[in-house]
Amino acid sequence: MTELLKISHTMHLEWRYGVGASFHEFIAALRARAQLLGRRCPSCQRVYLPPRPVCGNCYVELRDWVEVRDTGTVRAFTIVHTPIIDPTTGARRPSPYTMALIQLDGADTTLNHYLEASDPTKLRIGMRVRAVWRAPRTGLLGDISHFTELTDE
């Protein structure tokens, strides 16, 4: 019987991209002041976070920046039981973990992020959450490590 082999391989992909004029200011404010900037549509008044260059409803160019708070409301969530390999580190992310769509205070759109709660059975749509920041910040949305329950409101 032939010895059967297993071929193992790690593919390392690295990339660098220009963030464009719209995202540039967002990143600068995020890194310098842990400030979240959204963009408001002059036509329908919707505030986009993350910021977009054009309103998806009105097809109008967005130029106005508005500050969005790092607290928000859970609009949807899912508890993930499948262990995944974190693509940025190659390490396995502990499971279960929760992903949520979070509408930050001052924004009209939701942000997809990790949600950590002391008691997963207490997760509710509509629950109030706050961002937990990493230090030092690099100017990416990953500067928010995750969201957690907001208790002191």
Binding site for other proteins (CB under 8 A): 2-19, 24, 27-28, 31, 85, 87-90, 138-140
Structure tokens at 89: 């580190």
Q: Is 82 helix (H, G, I), strand (E, B) or coil?
A: coil
CB distance 98 to 123 below 8 Å: yes
Dig out the tokens for 56 from the structure. Answer: 């998806």
CB of 11 to other proteins, least distance (A): 4
Nearer to other proteins, 24 or 124 (CB): 24
Distance separating alpha carbons of residues 54 and 27, to the nearest angstrom:
18
Query: Smallest gap, in angstroms, from Cβ of residue 140 to other proteins?
Result: 7
Q: How far is the CB of 15 from other proteins (least distance, A)?
A: 6
Nearer to other proteins, 23 or 73 (CB): 23
Burial class (CB in 10 A: 0-12, 13-18, 19+), 56: exposed
CB of 42 to other proteins, least distance (A): 25
Nearer to other proteins, 15 or 59 (CB): 15
